[in-house]
Amino acid sequence: MNISIRNKDFFNIKDNDSLQIYFGGDQAWYIKAWSKEAGCGPTCAANITAYLARSKEMYKELYPSVSSDKNEFSKHMEVLFQYVTPGAMGVNSVTKFTDGLEQYLKAKNITLTPKILSVDPFSKKLRDTEELKVFVEKGLLADCPIAFLNLSKGAERRLQGWHWITITGVRTEGESLIAEASDEGKKIEFDLKLWYMTTKMHGGLIYYV
């Protein structure tokens, strides 16, 4: 299996001053210190809404700007922060993410349905890697980037704990399910299956249709 969203170039964000190209947003672009520290959730929401707006005419109001430069995208991140707003522990559940994004969708008069695969710390023996694989496949085939909440990175050392990132593709490599994702403006890869089988806290994945 090797699947990705159809237009990964839509994740490219250009800094017109330095000419650097980023892959998705970076929470460091927020203005306030707390937003920089806790803004991974709304940054992920900004990535997804901007992608859907650029790839589907019916969702264009989710990101009204026609520009993908850093300054314009940073403004979009600030808007999403007002909806997907971190509390004292950040956006530390899939429900906080979906509830906040639902309010943004309502403000834009757009209907999208979240599809959720939740992971809790007590389900390790019941976790089905085929269910994970099918879920991610359906999301990407629907051409929606996937929001990924990782509170505990488990045995996957390439991840940051207590963090949201945006999955844009997956491929199988032997027993591994390698995910490609936007993380703080960079493209990273990690073994999603390894995380799924070893994470010790709540987490989950979300896409919209």
Kindly list the domain boundaries of the chain, sorted by start residue.
Answer: 7-108, 114-208
What is the arithmetic mean of pLDDT over 159-165?
Answer: 97
> Domain 114-208 class?
alpha beta
pTM of the model: 0.96
pLDDT of residue 180: 98
Q: How confident is the model at residue 104 (pLDDT cuts 50, 70, 90)?
A: very high
Number of residues assigned to the chain = 209
What's the distance, CA 111 to chain centroid? 19
| Alpha-carbon distances, residue 26 vs 32, 35, 125, 139 (angstroms) | 13, 11, 35, 23
Q: How confident is the model at residue 86 (pLDDT cuts 50, 70, 90)?
A: very high
CA dihedral 67, 47, 193, 139 (to 10 degrees): -90
pLDDT of residue 204: 97
What angle do helix axes 40-55 and 94-107 make, rounded to 10 degrees? Answer: 40
What is the arithmetic mean of pLDDT over 180-184?
Answer: 98
The SS3 assignment for 9 reads helix
pLDDT of residue 123: 77
Tell me how far apart the alpha carbons of residues 21 and 19 are, in angstroms, rounded to a whole number.
Answer: 6
The β-bridge relationship of strands 176-183 and 186-191 is antiparallel
pLDDT of residue 36: 98
Residue 125 has pLDDT above 80, yes or no: no
